[in-house]
Amino acid sequence: MSIAWYLAVSAIVFSLGAVGVMTRRNPLVVLLCLELMLNGGNLALIAFSRMWGNGDGQILAIVVMTVAACEVCIGLGMIVAIYRRQLPIDVDELRELQG
Amino acid sequence: MSAVLFFVAAIGVISGAVGVVVLRNPFFSVLALVAHLVSLAVLFLLLRAEFVAAVQVVVYAGAVMVLYVFVVAYVGGEEDSIGERLRSGASVGSGLRLGGAILGGALLVELLIALLGTGLEATSGYGAGYVAGPKAYGTPAYIGNLLLTRFLLVFELASFLLLIAAVGGVVLARRRGGIGEDDEHETFVALDVLRPRGTGTMAEGVGVGNGRALRADSETAPVKTGAGRPS
């Protein structure tokens, strides 16, 4: 298959993740949709890497995976902290930072 | 053969992504994301990124998703409660949903124009040449060589970032009272077990060891057990 097909799949996955981030209200699912967006970026990176026959894109994809793991760690820690403080697990009702 | 494999994996990737966005129960969303990740690893293999595909399956679909499953089980995985409320009341919820879908569609069109409508002729090709071998493009030897020579700084920065994230996760999810002050459990002194109360020993007379000493001025005596501590 030509590289363009992979790029199309990555665009579809990225937009699906964006739709999920905008519409879902559970912060757990919002984090999952962020993972979808990162995966769309990863697929595009690896496709471009294959296009040029160069390993830099794969290294960048591994770094993106590392950043995603860090984001999951911090995000899930925040969700557990929210749950411990008996606050609603809902991104629309968490408005303590609002003025 | 590779075309068939591509379409099977691409359908798995996209349906997994749709499942993450659409499914109501967060637990099923996590399972859909696992299916999505495994299919994505197949796509990576088709792009000759063997090492990244293996890392994707082992680290992402294995470790990170187990973390998600644990947190969903701990938090309870509630459905979107405010979503029901908004839908039953005004049509704000469905309006937001529709607006999100429209924005996502616009983003998709824009991305497709940007990625496929470019003048790059190489996107319609099959990629650069590939020669199989033990140190060929995408193998662990190739990636390890790059990571430890050209991208050594990136590698070290990533490990430092992981350290910061681990410390941050522990700090965020710790018990609010701190680790040292554990008020729920009384301290348990072995002396109380070995010697029952009221046996008239000398240690009881001076108020040592037993929290409820029989002396009247036991307040002044050093109380070792945690029974008298304000909780």
Q: Which domains does chain A have, with CATH numbers?
A: 3-84 (1.10.287.3510)
Helices (H), ranges, chain B: 2-22, 26-46, 50-55, 65-75, 81-88, 92-116, 140-148, 152-172, 190-194, 202-205
User: Which range among A9-13, B143-147, B179-183 shows the weakest confidence by mean pLDDT?
Assistant: B179-183
- The residue written with tokens 């894109």 in the block is A57
Note the pLDDT of residue B121: 64
**Cα B110 to Cα B107: distance, rounded to the nearest angstrom:** 5
Cβ distance B169 to A77 under 8 Å? yes
pTM of the model: 0.76
pLDDT of residue B8 exceeding 90: yes
Other CB atoms closer than 10 Å to residue B48's CB: what's the count?
21
Q: Output the CA–CA distances (angstroms, integers) from residue A4 to A66, B117, B120, in the order listed.
A: 26, 10, 10
- The alpha-carbon gap from A96 to the nearest alpha carbon of chain B, in Å, equals 17
Q: Determine the distance in angstroms separating the CA of A97 from the nearest CA of chain B, rounded to an integer.
A: 17
Nearest by CB to A63, from B111, B154, B175: name it.
B154
pLDDT cut 70: percent of chain A above it: 97
Nearest to B111 among A15, A28, A92 (CB): A15
Contact B82, A25 (CB under 8 A): yes
B178-204 pLDDT tens trace: 444 444 555 555 655 666 666 666 666
Whole-angstrom Cα distance, residue B209 to residue B206? 9
pLDDT band at B156 (very low <50, low <70, confident <90, very high): very high
Closest approach of chain B CAs to the CA of A98, in angstroms? 19
pLDDT confidence of residue A80: 87
CB contact under 8 A, B51 and A58: yes
In degrees, rounded to 5, the angle at the alpha carbon of residue B132 between the alpha carbons of residues B43 and B37 is 15
Q: How far is CA B139 from CA A57, A59, B45, in A?
A: 14, 12, 11
Q: Which residues of B touch A24 (CB under 8 A)?
A: 21, 80
Report pLDDT for B197.
Answer: 62
Rounded to whole angstroms, the Cα distance separating A99 from A56 reads 44
Is B40:A46 a contact under the CB 8 Å cutoff? no
Interface with chain A: mutation pick from B14, B38, B47, highest number of A CBs within 10 Å = B47
* Contact by Cβ (8 Å): A44, A7: yes
Residue B64 pLDDT > 60, yes or no? Answer: yes
Residue B44 near residue B56 (C-beta atoms within 8 A): yes
Spatial distance between the Cα atoms of B39 and B228, rounded to a whole number of angstroms: 60
pLDDT of residue B209: 54
Where residue B18 falls among pLDDT bands split at 50, 70, 90?
very high
Residues B208, B221 contacting (CB under 8 angstroms): yes
Pairwise pLDDT comparison (B174 vs B53), residue with the higher score: B53
The pLDDT of residue A75 is above 50: yes
Q: Where are the domains of chain B?
A: 1-80, 133-174, 186-231
Q: Is A28 exposed, middle or buried (0-12, 13-18, 19+ CB in 10 A)?
A: buried
Distance from CA of B213 to the nearest CA of A (A): 39
Domain B1-80 has CATH 1.20.120.1200: yes
Strongest mean pLDDT among B93-97, B152-156, B186-190:
B152-156
Torsion angles phi and psi, residue B107, rounded to 5: -65, -40
For residues B29 and B209, what is the distance between their CA atoms, to the nearest angstrom? 56
Q: Give the pLDDT of residue B179.
A: 47
In terms of pLDDT, which residue wins out, A28 or B92? A28
Rounded-to-integer distance, Cα A8 and Cα A6, Å = 5
Q: Could you give phi then psi for residue B167, rounded to 5 degrees?
A: -65, -40
Q: Per-residue pLDDT averaged across B1-21, rounded?
A: 92
pLDDT of B10 strictly over 80? yes
Task: Check residue B192 and give its pLDDT.
Answer: 59
Judging contacts by C-beta atoms under 8 Å, the chain B residues touching residue A23 are 21, 96-97, 100-101
